[in-house]
């Protein structure tokens, strides 16, 4: 079907906007990843009925559909060659309703187009918050957060967003509207398919052991298969497997979320280390205490942040920093105990630990920490902190050893790198500073990614601890989970979307991760690492 016919057909189908001018379409060919993929068309449907109509049409015409939220993903999940179906930024798919309180908790339904920050502000007004507190609050939507199994610093204590998803509404590959709160809406093929798959997984002892071993690991890699081992009723199982499915199982239109009361008492501790792997070692010791968050920032990260945005008085120059936060009654006592523990361990600290108790001071440090990614994206002098291996995780007990080894890899590749992240969960955002002026960028990206992911997997770690799956990570999925679980993931996909209409290439892919590199990152337009090798 040519572009003009497609546009005409789409305009017939929906009242929402159909993006047809090249410049506007260009915006949908990029997200926050290293990729550029021009879609055939991009649409913003107005309601669930229009989404259903679009899906029917796309399935009949065999044109893939890529759901898109805020487009803040760093793994290329919101890009596709077919129709990009963007959730509207206002109107009927961007509302919140049915707020209720029960005991200490609150519940609210947010439509997929609600921005994360809007939801948090609405909850805060009522004395609650969603602990899956992403740093991309102003640019990501709830539908996208759920689709990527998003989380933030407080995942250490509370887990990722799936822990707060009570139920959801989504549109299937056949255009059915499924509300997990209403069993009558769940298609029989999905209910029976999940039940049969669940029984097979339950009988597979090795796979159950593998899933149990990873139950508490922070990971958004692959489908949420751990949910199959939790004895959940069908409605909750469906909501859990949709969470983290990166638009490959259906289009999420609304989510019922649980929220917690705001913690009024907080205390933070800033520790300045001379050596990065000593900071990693300290993390493990800290975890014996009831901490809410443990963040790490390498010296280089701190230096760049300070240069870009100034820094609170307490944060020292020229040090690798650990930020530890405690909350609730006893928060200050816990920080005092941690302080004693750090003193006893005789780490090479570059300054006395700073204890922060004032809300404003703690908030200022968090604000600085959450600026890390946008600031790093602006590193100048021909170098770019590219999102290539930006979201890995290892068991926290191995953090120090892993950091030492990964620093060795950066040296081998002659690449300076920025290291920061949610150290308490073993989740590191590694940002190599690639020199865009040196030739062979695609090859360098591919080789560094191969080396780092191999190391991560040797430690039993994960390729996607927080930012969800996408084109960047799909080629490594089977290596992380192994043949059997990978096979079950493929079966799950075929229960929901046997014709692969939703977001092909984003969960499963045999293509090199350098496919579709944006032009500024490819030496010759569109060349992958494999093509470079040949030429
Ligand atoms: C500066 C910055 C900071 C970040 N900080 C964090 C952080 O703290 N924690 C974190 O987890 N991530 C973080 N991220 C990554 C990103 O913001 C998250 O993955 C976020 O949840 C994506 O939401 P989005 O609405 O932008 O989704 P998009 O980027 O639009 O899409 C992401 C994926 O979800 C799918 N999707 C989107 N909406 C739907 C829907 N309604 N139904 C089905 N599938 C859908 C898409 O197809 C795609 O595969 C950060 C990114 C940036 C740029």
Backbone angles phi, psi at 179, to 5 degrees: -110, 115
Per-residue pLDDT at 379 exceeds 70: no
Residue 407: Cβ-neighbour burial (10 angstroms; 0-12, 13-18, 19+): middle
Q: How far is the CA of 438 from the centre of ligand 1 (A)?
A: 31
* pTM of the shown model: 0.94
Instruction: Judge if 278 and 250 occupy the same domain.
Output: no
Residue 134 is part of a domain; what is its CATH number? 3.30.465.10
Residue 262 Cα distances to 105, 128, 290, 294, angstroms: 10, 5, 17, 19
Instruction: Judge if 216 and 153 occupy the same domain.
Output: yes
| pLDDT above 70: percentage of residues in the chain | 95
In-domain check, residue 366: yes
Per-residue pLDDT at 171 exceeds 50: yes
Instruction: Judge if 310 and 285 occupy the same domain.
Output: yes
**pLDDT reported for residue 458:** 98
Give 300's pLDDT tier (boundaries 50, 70, 90).
confident
Instruction: Judge if 173 and 129 occupy the same domain.
Output: yes
Say which range, 187-196, 222-231, 239-248, 347-356, has the weakest mean pLDDT. Answer: 347-356
Instruction: Judge if 117 and 236 occupy the same domain.
Output: yes
Question: Residue whose CA is closest, atom 5 of ligand 1?
Answer: 135
Instruction: Judge if 257 and 292 occupy the same domain.
Output: no
Which of 245, 235, 239, 241 lies closest to 257, judged by CA?
239
When comparing pLDDT for 375 and 81, which is higher?
81
Give 315's pLDDT tier (boundaries 50, 70, 90).
low
Instruction: Judge if 223 and 282 occupy the same domain.
Output: no
In-domain check, residue 471: no
Number of residues assigned to the chain: 535
**Which two three-digit tokens encode residue 432?**
């190599």
147 in contact with ligand 1, CB cutoff 6 A: yes
Average pLDDT, the chain: 92
Asked if 232 and 217 touch (Cβ cutoff 8 Å), the reply is: no
Among the atoms of ligand 1, which is closest to the Cα of residue 506? 49
Each residue's pLDDT tens digit, 439-460: 899 999 999 999 999 999 999 9
Q: How many domains does the chain have?
A: 3
For CA atoms 96, 97, 99, 105, the dihedral sign is: negative
Instruction: Judge if 221 and 356 occupy the same domain.
Output: no
In-domain check, residue 328: yes
**pLDDT reported for residue 90:** 78
Question: Residue whose CA is closest, atom 50 of ligand 1?
Answer: 136
Start-to-end CA distance of the chain, whole Å, equals 34
Each residue's pLDDT tens digit, 150-162: 999 889 999 999 9
Instruction: Judge if 19 and 124 occupy the same domain.
Output: no
Strands 65-68 and 83-86: parallel
| pLDDT above 90: percentage of residues in the chain | 78
**Residues near 381 by Cβ (< 8 Å), separated by ≥ 6?**
none
**pLDDT reported for residue 523:** 64
Distance CA 501, CA 175 (A): 12
Each residue's pLDDT tens digit, 247-264: 999 999 999 999 999 988
Instruction: Judge if 104 and 245 occupy the same domain.
Output: yes
Residue 295 is part of a domain; what is its CATH number? 3.30.70.2190
Say which range, 58-62, 234-238, 376-380, has the weakest mean pLDDT. Answer: 376-380
Cα dihedral: 468, 471, 473, 477 (round 10): 100
Distance CA 58, CA 51 (A): 10
**pLDDT reported for residue 13:** 93
**Which two three-digit tokens encode residue 347?**
């780490």
Each residue's pLDDT tens digit, 517-527: 999 887 644 44
Cα dihedral: 427, 429, 430, 433 (round 10): -170
Residue 138 structural domain: 92-261
**pLDDT reported for residue 382:** 74
Residue 285: Cβ-neighbour burial (10 angstroms; 0-12, 13-18, 19+): middle
Q: How far is the CA of 346 from the centre of ligand 1 (A)?
A: 40
**pLDDT reported for residue 318:** 76
390 in contact with ligand 1, CB cutoff 6 A: no
461 in contact with ligand 1, CB cutoff 6 A: no
When comparing pLDDT for 201 and 16, which is higher?
201
Report, as an integer, the average pLDDT of 419-423.
92
In-domain check, residue 239: yes
Report, as an integer, the average pLDDT of 355-374.
84
Write down which residue in 208, 231, 261 finishes a domain. Answer: 261
Asked if 220 and 148 touch (Cβ cutoff 8 Å), the reply is: yes
Instruction: Judge if 192 and 280 occupy the same domain.
Output: no
In-domain check, residue 489: no
468 in contact with ligand 1, CB cutoff 6 A: yes
Per-residue pLDDT at 425 exceeds 80: yes
94 in contact with ligand 1, CB cutoff 6 A: no
Instruction: Judge if 153 and 74 occupy the same domain.
Output: no
In-domain check, residue 469: no
248 in contact with ligand 1, CB cutoff 6 A: no
**pLDDT reported for residue 305:** 79
Give 384's pLDDT tier (boundaries 50, 70, 90).
confident
Write down which residue in 245, 261, 277 finishes a domain. Answer: 261
135 in contact with ligand 1, CB cutoff 6 A: yes
Residue 64 is part of a domain; what is its CATH number? 3.30.43.10
503 in contact with ligand 1, CB cutoff 6 A: yes
Write down which residue in 30, 59, 90 finishes a domain. Answer: 90
In-domain check, residue 276: yes
Each residue's pLDDT tens digit, 190-225: 999 999 999 999 999 999 999 999 999 999 999 999
In-domain check, residue 447: no
Each residue's pLDDT tens digit, 54-103: 999 999 999 999 999 999 999 999 999 999 999 988 777 889 999 999 99
When comparing pLDDT for 496 and 22, which is higher?
496
Distance CA 394, CA 519 (A): 32
Report, as an integer, the average pLDDT of 139-154.
96
């Amino acid at each position: 079907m040519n572009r003009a016919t497609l546009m005409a057909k789409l305009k017939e189908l929906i009242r929402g906007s159909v993006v047809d001018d090249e410049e506007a379409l260009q915006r949908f060919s990029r997200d926050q990843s290293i990729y550029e993929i021009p879609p055939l068309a991009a649409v913003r449907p107005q309601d669930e009925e229009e989404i259903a109509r679009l899906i029917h049409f796309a399935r009949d015409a065999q044109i893939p559909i890529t759901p898109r939220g805020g487009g803040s993903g760093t793994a290329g999940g919101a890009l596709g060659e077919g129709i990009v179906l963007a959730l509207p930024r206002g109107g009927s798919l961007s509302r919140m309703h049915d707020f209720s309180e029960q005991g200490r908790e609150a519940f609210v339904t947010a439509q997929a187009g609600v921005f994360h920050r809007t939801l948090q502000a609405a909850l805060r007004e009522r004395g609650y918050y969603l602990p899956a507190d992403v740093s991309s609050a102003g640019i990501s939507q709830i539908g996208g957060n759920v689709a990527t199994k998003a989380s933030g610093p407080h995942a250490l204590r509370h887990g990722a967003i799936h822990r707060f998803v009570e139920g959801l509404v989504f549109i299937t590959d056949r255009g059915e509207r499924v509300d997990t709160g209403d069993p009558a809406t769940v298609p029989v093929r999905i209910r029976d398919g999940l039940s049969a798959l669940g029984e097979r997984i339950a009988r597979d002892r090795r796979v159950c052991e593998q899933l149990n071993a990873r139950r508490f690991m922070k990971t958004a890699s692959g489908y949420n298969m751990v949910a199959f081992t939790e004895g959940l009723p069908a409605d909750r199982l469906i909501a859990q497997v949709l969470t983290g499915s990166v638009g490959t199982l259906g289009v999420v239109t609304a989510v019922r979320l649980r929220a917690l009361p705001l913690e009024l008492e907080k205390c933070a501790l800033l520790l300045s280390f001379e050596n990065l792997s000593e900071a990693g070692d300290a993390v493990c010791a800290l975890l014996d205490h009831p901490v809410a968050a443990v963040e790490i920032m390498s010296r280089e990260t701190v230096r760049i942040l300070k240069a870009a945005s100034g820094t609170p008085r307490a944060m020292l120059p020229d040090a690798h920093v650990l930020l530890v936060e405690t909350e609730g009654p006893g928060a200050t006592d816990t920080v005092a105990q941690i302080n004693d523990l750090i003193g006893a361990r005789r780490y090479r600290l570059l300054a006395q630990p700073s204890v922060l108790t004032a809300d404003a001071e703690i908030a200022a440090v968090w604000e600085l920490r959450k600026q890390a990614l946008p600031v790093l994206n602006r590193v100048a002098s021909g170098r770019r902190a590219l999102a290539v291996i930006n979201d890995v995780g290892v068991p926290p007990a191995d953090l120090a050893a892993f950091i030492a080894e990964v620093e060795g890899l950066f040296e081998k590749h002659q690449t300076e790198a920025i290291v920061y992240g949610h150290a308490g969960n073993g989740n590191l955002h590694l940002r190599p500073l690639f020199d865009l002026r040196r030739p062979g960028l695609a090859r360098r990206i591919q080789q560094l990614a191969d080396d780092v992911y191999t190391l991560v997997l040797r430690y039993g770690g994960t390729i996607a601890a927080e930012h969800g799956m996408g084109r960047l990570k799909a080629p490594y999925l089977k290596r992380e989970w192994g043949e059997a679980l990978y096979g079950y993931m493929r079966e799950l996909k075929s229960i929901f979307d046997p014709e692969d209409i939703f977001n092909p290439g984003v969960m499963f892919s045999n293509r090199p991760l350098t496919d579709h590199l944006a032009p500024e990152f490819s030496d010759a337009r569109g060349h992958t690492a494999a093509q470079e090798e040949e030429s």
